[in-house]
């Protein structure tokens, strides 16, 4: 029956052990048998001549010797194994007999081995070449970085297949680090070129494809390393954190390269085994290089940089999502630290690159409305617009309490730091709680400490002319002041101020909050004739409620209500 070529080595072991009388045949003997097999694989149709007949007799004599020495069972086993070897698909009968003869030669019987001495020839089989001389043992090469670099390059290469593969793998390890080797290199004048492989050590196309796959990993490493090494004059903290995160990922890659170099130096490393080692790192480095390319533009800072990474995290593959979220967690740390300081104390961290989505302006006129602004482009993707707006209001309220109300207390006595980390589900809850607390504090301060309601009552009674007796006297006084002829150096404005004072003293307006009544002031209105209006000079922190827009509205309302009061007075007189 026929046996497969891959089972032939096992049969040779059994046959050699049977002939030599040992349990396990020595490896050199089996290797020499394989060498004979290699020389006879092409001779599929043997010719029976006198030499073949003599060789068959000699093999039969060897079988008789085995039977005498070890018994009938050993001879039967000898015949069985010899028959299987002769019937092999990839071996001729002549080659099978030659292997059996060779086993007789190495069994130690000089009389039996003499006719078969021609087996040990160069090329194996029954070659007529000169006998093979034992090659002197060469010292083991140092396949480390230094030893390999110092050694001269092979020419053609003059090495066996194993050493050529070691050279190729050594160059592949250089390519993993972006370094050109002797046989694997690329044109540095061109960007993103495929490395060229010397066909002297990589004659097979499959080997070239494997080397190029390794070189792709080195090319991806160079992209990531180029991102880490590039710097700008105004680099923000988020970009620096991202570079540190990429360096951490590359440190694992460096450790892998060190392990592979140790294996090549100590145990030997084949190209196929190297490719198996690099399957997972290749996928991971592809994702890392894509993330570096997405964040390469220098105008991406802060929340915009986090948003660019967050778009890559929306992926169905868990490995992609885990890698990108790991980078995003470290990149967003500066933004989350700024949010924590802003929400807890109402203070901004130094931000020369403008990475935080809350920006302080130089507008001092309206502290509450214009001092701080929200930059939507810098809002991170993991924050909604509503949460970002509440964060702005919380910090602005704390700043308002500190600068305008003299209240320097933080929003929280103690806060959970874990809430201000990427992926935390408590961040929104903490912001909502701080939002409610600060609103209650500012309302309490305005109502109790600064008597906001009394100021609003004075506005209603005086500016909106809700106090009847005050309104009648003020309208009459302003009309009289407007009609009064001015002297050469006089002004009717003083008469209008005196009319306001008389209206306050002679009406129930004198019972209003004195601090609010003192904020009333007379303004000269522009028009064809002389006309006067009433304004309210709001000071901090009341001006946060009665701002410039509200005061303008109150001024227009006063003019309209004054005309209405004048008409009512004329109708009353006419009645």
Given this model, what pLDDT does residue 33 score? 64
CA distance 167 to 171: 6
Band the pLDDT of 246: cuts 50, 70, 90. Answer: very high
Residue with tokens 């002549």: 94
* Per-residue confidence band for 131, with pLDDT thresholds at 50, 70 and 90: very low
The answer to pTM > 0.85 is no
Name the percent of the chain lying above pLDDT 70: 69
Calpha distance 278→282 (Å, rounded): 6
Rounded mean pLDDT, 77-85: 71
More confident residue, 365 or 522: 522
Residues 378 and 157: their CA atoms lie apart, in Å, by 59
| pLDDT tens-digit series, residues 282-316 | 999 999 999 998 888 888 888 888 888 888 887 87
| Axis crossing angle, helix 50-70 with helix 72-86, rounded to the nearest 10 | 150
| Choice among 197-201, 215-219, 276-280, 463-467 with the minimum mean pLDDT | 197-201
More confident residue, 71 or 411: 411
54-58, 77-81, 156-160, 555-559: least confidently modelled range: 156-160
pLDDT exceeds 80 at position 87: no
Please say whether the beta carbons of 438 and 411 come within 8 A.
yes
What does DSSP assign to residue 506? Answer: T
pLDDT band at 557 (very low <50, low <70, confident <90, very high): very high
> What's the pLDDT at 188?
58
DSSP 561: H
Instruction: Classify the C-alpha dihedral 257-261-266-268 as positive or negative.
Output: positive
* 8 Å CB contact between 464 and 554: yes
Is residue 213 classed exposed, middle or buried when 0-12, 13-18 and 19+ CB atoms within 10 A define those classes? middle
Residue given tokens 């390519």 in the structure block: 175
As a whole number, mean pLDDT of residues 198-212 equals 61
pLDDT at residue 540, rounded to an integer: 85
392 pLDDT above the threshold of 90: yes
Which pLDDT band, with edges at 50, 70 and 90, does 112 fall under? very low
Write the pLDDT tens digit of every residue in 491-549.
557 888 888 999 999 999 889 999 899 999 998 876 656 688 899 988 888 888 888 88
pLDDT for the residue 23? 65
Nearest one of 563, 537, 559, 558 to 548, comparing CA atoms: 537
Give 339's pLDDT tier (boundaries 50, 70, 90). Answer: very high
- For residue 113, what pLDDT band results from cuts at 50, 70 and 90? very low
Least confident of 89-98, 136-145, 343-352, 526-535: 136-145
Range with the lowest mean pLDDT among 197-206, 353-362, 401-410? 197-206
Higher pLDDT, 372 or 81: 372
User: What pLDDT shows up at residue 488?
Assistant: 41
Q: Return the higher-pLDDT residue of 95 and 450.
A: 450
Mean pLDDT throughout 384-404?
91
Higher pLDDT pick, 335 / 235: 335
What pLDDT is recorded for position 31? 63
Buried b (16+ CB within 10 A) or exposed e, 454-473: bbebbbebbbebebeebbbb
- Tokens coding 94: 């002549």
For residues 57-83, average pLDDT: 71
**Residue 48 pLDDT > 60:** no
**432 pLDDT more than 90:** yes
Helix (H, G, I), strand (E, B) or coil at 534: strand
Quick one: pLDDT at residue 125?
33
Of 353 and 135, the one with more pLDDT: 353
């Amino acid at each position: 029956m026929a046996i497969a070529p891959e089972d032939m080595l096992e049969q040779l072991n059994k046959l050699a052990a049977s002939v030599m009388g040992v349990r396990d045949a020595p490896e050199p003997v089996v290797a020499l048998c394989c060498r004979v097999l290699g020389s006879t694989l092409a001779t599929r149709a043997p010719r029976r001549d006198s030499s073949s007949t003599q060789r068959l007799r000699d093999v039969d004599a060897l079988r008789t010797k085995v039977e005498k020495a070890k018994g009938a069972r050993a001879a039967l086993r000898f015949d069985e194994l010899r028959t299987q070897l002769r019937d092999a698909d990839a071996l001729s009968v002549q080659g099978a007999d030659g292997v059996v003869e060779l086993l007789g030669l190495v069994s130690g019987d000089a009389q039996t081995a003499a006719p078969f001495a021609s087996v040990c020839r160069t090329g194996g089989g029954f070659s007529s070449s000169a006998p093979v001389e034992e090659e002197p043992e060469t010292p083991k090469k140092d396949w480390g970085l230094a030893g390999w670099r110092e050694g001269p390059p092979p020419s053609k290469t003059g090495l066996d297949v194993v050493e050529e593969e070691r050279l190729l793998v050594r160059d592949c390890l250089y390519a993993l680090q972006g370094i050109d080797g002797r046989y694997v290199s690329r044109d540095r004048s061109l960007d993103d070129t495929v490395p060229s492989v010397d066909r002297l050590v990589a004659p097979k196309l499959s080997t070239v494809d494997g080397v190029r796959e390794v070189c792709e990993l080195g090319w991806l490493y160079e992209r990531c390393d180029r991102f880490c090494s590039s710097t700008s004059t105004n680099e923000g903290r988020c970009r620096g954190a991202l570079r540190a995160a990429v360096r951490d990922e590359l440190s694992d890659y460096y450790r892998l390269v060190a392990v592979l170099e140790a294996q090549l130096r100590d145990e030997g490393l084949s190209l196929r085994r190297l490719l198996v080692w690099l399957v997972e790192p290749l996928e991971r480095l592809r994702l890392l290089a894509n993330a570096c390319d997405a964040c390469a533009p220098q105008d991406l800072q802060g929340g915009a940089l986090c948003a660019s990474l967050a778009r890559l995290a929306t992926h169905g593959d868990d490995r992609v999502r885990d890698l990108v979220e790991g980078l995003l967690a470290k990149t967003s740390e500066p933004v989350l630290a700024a949010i924590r300081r802003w929400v807890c104390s109402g203070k901004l961290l130094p931000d020369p690159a403008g990475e935080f989505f809350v920006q302080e302006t130089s507008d001092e006129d309206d502290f509450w409305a214009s001092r701080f602004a929200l930059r939507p482009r810098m809002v991170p993707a993991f924050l909604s617009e509503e949460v970002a707006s509440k964060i702005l209001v919380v910090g602005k309220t704390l700043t308002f309490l500190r600068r305008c109300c003299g209240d320097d207390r933080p929003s929280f006595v103690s806060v959970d730091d874990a809430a201000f980390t990427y992926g935390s589900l408590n961040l929104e809850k903490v912001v909502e709680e701080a939002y409610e607390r600060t609103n209650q504090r500012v309302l309490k301060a305005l109502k109790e400490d600064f008597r906001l309601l009394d100021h609003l009552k004075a506005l209603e009674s005086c500016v909106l002319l809700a106090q009847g007796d005050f309104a009648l006297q003020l309208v009459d006084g302003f009309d009289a002041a407007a009609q009064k002829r001015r002297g050469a150096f006089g002004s009717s404005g003083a008469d209008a101020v005196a009319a306001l004072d008389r209206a306050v003293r002679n009406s129930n307006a004198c019972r209003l909050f004195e601090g609010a009544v003192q904020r009333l002031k007379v303004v000269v209105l522009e028009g064809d004739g002389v006309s006067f209006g009433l304004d309210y000079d709001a000071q901090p922190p009341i001006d946060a409620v009665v701002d410039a827009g509200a005061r303008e509205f109150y001024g227009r309302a006063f003019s309209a209500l004054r005309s209405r009061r004048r008409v009512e007075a004329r109708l009353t007189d006419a009645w």
